Every structure is written in structure tokens, then in C-alpha cells.
Structure 1
Amino acid sequence: MGATVLGLTGAPAATAAPATAAPARAAQAEVPAGVTAGVAVFDRTTGTFTERLNETMRFRSASVVKLLIALDHLRTRDPRTLSTADRTRLDSMLRSSDDNAASYYWSLGGRTAIIDRTVTQLGLADTANPPAGYEDYWGYVALSAADTVRIYRYILDTASAPVRDYVMGNLRQPTRCGTDGFDQQFGIPGSFERPWSVKQGWSGFGSTGNCSPKPATTVPAAAARQSTQQSTQKSAQRAAQESTRLAAAGVDLTKEALHTTGTVGAGDRSIVAVFTLHPDGTAYGKAYSDLGRLTRSLSVPGGAHPGGTWFGTWGPGVNVRPGPTTAGSTPLTTLPAGVDVLVSCQRLGQEVSIPPYTNSWWAYLPQYGGYITNIYISSPGNQLPGVPVCSS
């Protein structure tokens, strides 16, 4: 058992910042060092953009392309008459980013023919199919922030009411964990109070994350599986003449990619599209935090930031628990290593020792609905500065 300490000497530097209402200011996305970003924020009330940064730059879409896959499948189908199996599969693809479901529909719809049809139907300007020889890789479809705004405008303003209501209804109910175990609460969900809707995308961070509980996948492994697409794309691409294909594709297929897209505010007032690439080898928690900081910097009409204070964390395998104790407490989930967290209050609980540190204070994370020991929060002292004590 270590002695009680007042600080975490050697822990990462604190990254606390008070959370406030979304400010009215000149548009200026704050892009973290080393991050490449394409950003577009469209205010549907005024019909104007409040943020535009590299908005026509093409990024590999990762799972954001599942919007187009779903729209194409519903092009000749009424969501109200889908079979139970079809609805379950589509729900999982849109809510839990189910890769197996996406591969099933990608094959069913003729793979690149899906993109050819939706580019024409939606009037997309920057969207392109995967490079030749990689037609099975739906995550290699190229998208831009500007085209993503067009996709959401089509869903909200042009698609039939049943399609609009079905797609947006699913995007308003994302599971916290994707079916591959990656935490989906980055970007829009972490930056704004509801109402919001999201379709997230990630690629290059490994085959599985540590988020739990993972939703069940909906497609048997033998049914058009894409062989853990989010992780294998990078290694497969590197193994087959990386530089040649990169030049042909016109998009980066190697760096870690993390994207947040969706709507924010009552009546889906603002459409938000943020695409990011991170230096090769970036950990998921680091990319997650950098994307969050970028998203929180944006001018998003109708959006309100949740109350609380942001802090960095350190160490892998940090559990979020339903109460300020480990006794008889099954973790709600495990945080991505080193991720920023929003703390609304703190309270005394079970004393925890992680030698050489000992601490009895626990922080409440409203976006996870649970507590973590303050030992793993990057802040000097056992009690977090400026954070109130929980009332109950």
C-alpha cells in the first residue's frame, strides 16, 4: 500500500478546461497539432456555413460511408415494410457501426455501383470509389466534409419521410460501443447536449477496442465478411505498393482516421462534419481527445456544451463504475487509454491504492453515467480543483 500523495508526479499534464455554452464567435476551427482536418458546419436555419476548413478535401470514409450504403438499400424499399432480419441488420449498421452488416449490403448492392448511384442521386462532388483492386473495401470510399453535409441535407430535406425518419431515428440512438468494441462517444456526442444524431467513423486503430458491452453483430462471419475492415485496411494497403495506390486514390489510406458527423440542436439545426487524420501510430485515446477538442471549438448554431470540466486521464484499462467503489461493482465500461473525460462532480468513496498513489476521491463522468478513481485523472492533488462535491 502506498502512502497518500497530493499529486501524480510523472503523470501526464492536466488538460482541464471549463465547459460552457457554445460561444458566439468568428468561425475558426482549432485543429490540434499534427492533425489534418476537413470541417464543415452548416446552419439549416440560415442556409449558411459557420465553419469551413478543407471542406472539399477527400478522406477515406471509414464507417461514414454506411450512410450511403443504407440510402442505396432504401432507394427502392420502404423502411416500414422491411423484414425483421433486414431491419435488425440495418439498425445495427447505423447505430453500432456493424462492419459485417455493411459488408453484406455492400455486396448485395453491387459494391462500387452503390457509390455510382448515390453520387448521381445526391449530387455529390468529391465522393469516389475505392482504388482499383480494392473494390471490396467500402471504407476506402473517399468522402469530404462538404459532401457529407450534402448527404445529411438529402436525408433531411429530400428523402421520403419514411426514409428520413428511419435513418435519423437510428442515428439518434447510437450505442456507446460499436460492434467491434470501439467507444463511439467522441466528437459530437461528447461535445454537445442532446438533441443530436451521429454517424461516426474510425480506421487504423486495431481490430477491436475495449468498450463494453459490445452489441451483437447481425451477420454470420461467412456472409460477405470484410475481415475486420477497420484494422486490416492499413496493413493490407501497405503490403501492396503503398505509394502507387495512394497516388491513384488521391486519399491517405494509412494514417489513423477518426471522423464525427451528424446533426446538432432542435430540429437538426446544424449539420456537422469533421474528418481527421492523425500521425501514424497515434493511439485511439489520443485521437479521440484531439477530435473532441476540435469539435468543441466549432461554432455550431443550436448546440450547447454540457456542464463540467474536462481533464486528461492516464493509464490503460481505467474502469468506469456505477458507484465510487470497486467492491461488488461490475465496471460499466473501460475508457480508451489516455482519453479526455468530462467531470461534473466528485465525491469521497473507497480508498484506492495504485502504488505509489492512494486516493479516496472519485470523479463522476456524466457522459458515462459512472465514476472513476481520481488517481487516473491528470491533475495535481487528490481532489480536483474547481470541481464541486456531488450532492448525493
Structure 2
Amino acid sequence: MRRFPFTRATAGGRHTTSLAAIAAFLSLIVAGAAHSAPAAAPDRHADTPSVAAPSAEVPAGVTAGVAVFDRQTGSFTEQVNASAQFRSASIVKLLITLDFLWNRGPDYSIPSTDRARLEAMLRSSDDAAANHYWSTNGYASVVTRMVGRLGLSDTAPPVNQNVWGHTAMSARDTVTIYRHVLERAPAPVRDFIMGNLRQSTRCASDKFDQHFGVAAAFDRPWAVKQGWAGSYPDGTCGRPSAAPDRADTAADGTGSTAAEDVDLTRPVLHSTGTVGAGDRSIVAVFTLHPDGTSYGKAFTDLTRLTRSLNVPGGVAPSGKWYGTWSSLVNVRSAPVLGDNVLTRLPAGVEVLVGCQKKGQTVSVPPYTNDWWAYLPQYGGYISNIYISHPDNQLPDVPLCS
């Protein structure tokens, strides 16, 4: 460090301060400060929590908007295109629910008919319920009211007010919505919404498997509201096979827009909710996929992206992730064939394998296999013949006890 004298020696041993030296010293300090610390621009986001360096791994071909907010520290741990607008699909059902509950009175009582509708809409993404409240409460006015009430920046109603799924939303606005529910909404509202999101059903009302993203990437506790829209003919689950029948996809491709740059043609898949004890982290992942993407690939890409995120309080489930092949692979209650189908997998989806064991031999010529993989997130088994691996027995998966 360079030294600057404040004093000089005199004949009598006393030291006197040189005013010239002080002036020179001060001028150097001022000059140095001007070069090393330029004046900062006014902070227009002084109240905006900081964000850590993102760890998000966005799969090739996927357009994503991501926001993860740690409520314990009051800061974002992930923001990737957080303000980008996507067509909301069923994420707008959060706003539809809040709008209905906004002025319910001091006890926020919900009539039994409405309770049943709202529970189906929040847990199983029921479209008939959304259609009812959308039309009853003023169509696009629902979104307009909630934008003003919550101070949303990127949310806009659809131009075609009959299509609630074309509402424009962003990841950061979704964080704001969850923060309102958790931190500012009356306790009955918070408990009703979050209680239902914690009971998300694997099979949605339209028979689509909706436990992707947050629900697949983390162990409970979590609460989720998912969204999907587009041409997905292969996303069915459960015993019966059903074609998609969603009010928010019927008008896809019409060319109407909720806001500039919102894509209404390519398929979307969104996962939002909270993760960890006390709803520590709020996670919002919006994704847009290339035309022709299968549901299983979109499901896998979204879940991989979610698994890559820095989510405080989130715990990754134990097991190994493997791809699958074939369509509508049956998940069975035991490693044998028979009348024991629990659900079906989306075609080609990646699954978490917890353990494996021998069972009934399955033949898909020219292959045979008597090993079965246990899928803890589905509570059942699939034949290893449908696992994308060359060996009958998976080398890095333990035996089931």
C-alpha cells in the first residue's frame, strides 16, 4: 500500500503537519475514488430480494421461465426468464379460486357445492369447475381484478375471454400469488388452498398424469398446482384410456393472444407450488416445448429441469432415474401379470426406480425378462423389459426386501 506523510521532522525533534501534503493526499483520495468506485445508478429495485447464481439446466429445445423463492431468507435462489409470459393453462385456476374467496365474509364459509367444485379444481385440475367460475364471475374480469389486487406485473387476461387457459402468466407473478396465499391471505383461505394443493391427485380429472416437476423431483411435503395444454395424445393414466378433453386447449392455435409474444400453438407444461417444511420454497417452472413433443418427453424434460434447481428445504427422493419405452406401460401392485393394474405411464417417461426383484417372466419378442422395477412414486411395479437399459437386472439398483 502506498504511504503518504502527514508530518515532517524539525530541528527540535517536533513534527509539524504539512498542509500541502494533506491537500495532496486528499486530492489523491478523491481522484482514486473517482476511478475505483464510480457513482452507482439509482437502485430501482432496492426492495427486490437478491438472487443466487442459477443452477437451472434447461433441456435442449425447451423454452423455460423459472423462479424459486426461499421464504426463510426472503430471496430468490433461481430466476431464469422469470418475467417471460406463457399461456397459463391451468395455473390460472389459482386466480379463479382466489377471486371466488376474496369477499366471502369474516368466516370465509364455502357452500358445499362450491367446496366440491373447488376441491376438484385444485386437486385434480377439473376444467368443468373452472368453466363454471370463469363464466359466473365475469370471464376475463376475474384476471383483471386479481392483477389489481395482487399487483401482478406480467399477468394479462386472454383476448378470447372464453379461453381461460390463454391467460398470460409468468414465473415471478406466480411466486407473488403463492406469497399472497401463504403470507397475507386470511388463514381460512390459506388453509383451504394449500390443503387442497397438498392432496394433488396423480391422475387429473381428464386422466392426465399430473405428478411431474415439483411432485416428482422432491419428497413430500409439497403442494402443487400443475398446468398443461397442447396436442398431447399420450398423457393418460389410470385404468381406462381417455383422450384429452380440456377447455383450455380447445381453442389452441386460433391466433388470439393474451399479450404480445405469448405462444398459443406449441405445447406447454408447467409445475408450480411449494416445497419443504413450512412451505419454505416457492417454485414456479413454466415450459414451452417444440411441436410434436410427446407428453412423456415433456414430462421428463420438465422434471429434469426441476430436479436441477436450487430449492432450499427440498429433499430429492432416493432411487435411480431411468427412461422407459413403449406406450401406456402398466404399473402393477405386484411383479406379476393379472388384474392388478394401478395406473399407466405416459409413453417414454423417465421414472424413479427404488428397488428391483424377480417376478413373473414377461415376453416382448425377441426379449424376455423376469426382473421387475419398483417405482416408489407410483406405489407399484413395471417389468424391467420396459426400462431403457440393455441388462435384464439393473446394475445400480438394490434388491427389494
In the alignment, what sits opposite 1:97? Answer: 125
Letter in 2 for 1:59: F
2:215 equivalent among 183, 189, 200: 189
Q: How does 1:1-392 map to 2 (within 5 A)?
A: 26-77=53-104, 81-131=109-159, 134-206=160-232, 209-212=235-238, 228-235=246-253, 237=254, 242=255, 245=256, 249-327=260-338, 329-391=339-401
Letter in 1 for 2:246: T
State the Cα deviation string for residues 26-54 of structure 1 (Å, max 9, x = none).
53200000000000000000000000000
Letter in 2 for 1:75: W
The Cα of 1:250 is off from its aligned counterpart by 2.8
Letter in 1 for 2:306: T
Letter in 1 for 2:132: Y
Letter in 2 for 1:312: G
State the Cα deviation string for residues 253-289 of structure 1 (Å, max 9, x = none).
0110000000000000000000000001101000000
Contact map agreement 1:207 1:232 (CA 8 A) in 2: no
Letter in 2 for 1:143: M
Greater Rg over alpha carbons, structure: 2
Contact map agreement 1:309 1:342 (CA 8 A) in 2: yes
Matches of 1:309 and 1:248 in 2, distance apart?
41
Letter in 2 for 1:39: V
State the Cα deviation string for residues 65-98 of structure 1 (Å, max 9, x = none).
0000000000112575212111000000000000
Matches of 2:92 and 2:233 in 1, distance apart?
19
State the SS of the aligned residue for 1:152: helix
Matches of 1:80 and 1:128 in 2, distance apart?
27
TM-score for both structures, normalised by structure 1 = 0.85
- Count of aligned positions: 346
Letter in 1 for 2:146: T
Contact map agreement 2:91 2:227 (CA 8 A) in 1: yes
State the Cα deviation string for residues 100-159 of structure 1 (Å, max 9, x = none).
10010001110111111100111100000112xx11100000000000000000000111
The answer for unaligned runs of 5 or more in structure 1 is: 1-24, 215-226
Contact map agreement 1:186 1:291 (CA 8 A) in 2: yes
Letter in 2 for 1:155: V
- Runs (4 or more) in structure 1 with deviation over 6 Å come to none
Which structure ranks higher in relative contact order (CA pairs < 8 Å, sequence separation ≥ 6)? Answer: 1
Matches of 2:53 and 2:157 in 1, distance apart?
35
Cα 1:162–1:367, aligned 2, differ >3 Å: closer, same or farther? Answer: same
Matches of 2:239 and 2:192 in 1, distance apart?
25
The Cα of 1:231 is off from its aligned counterpart by 3.4
CA RMSD of aligned residues (A): 1.7
Contact map agreement 1:206 1:230 (CA 8 A) in 2: no
Matches of 1:209 and 1:51 in 2, distance apart?
29
State the SS of the aligned residue for 2:190: helix
In the alignment, what sits opposite 2:4? Answer: none
State the SS of the aligned residue for 1:76: coil
Cα 1:200–1:82, aligned 2, differ >3 Å: closer, same or farther? Answer: same
User: Identity across aligned pairs (percent)?
Assistant: 61
Contact map agreement 1:313 1:377 (CA 8 A) in 2: yes
The Cα of 1:210 is off from its aligned counterpart by 1.9
The Cα of 1:335 is off from its aligned counterpart by 0.2
The answer for unaligned runs of 5 or more in structure 2 is: 1-51
Contact map agreement 2:239 2:341 (CA 8 A) in 1: no
Matches of 2:233 and 2:134 in 1, distance apart?
20
Matches of 2:163 and 2:116 in 1, distance apart?
23
Letter in 2 for 1:107: S
State the SS of the aligned residue for 2:73: coil
Contact map agreement 2:166 2:258 (CA 8 A) in 1: no
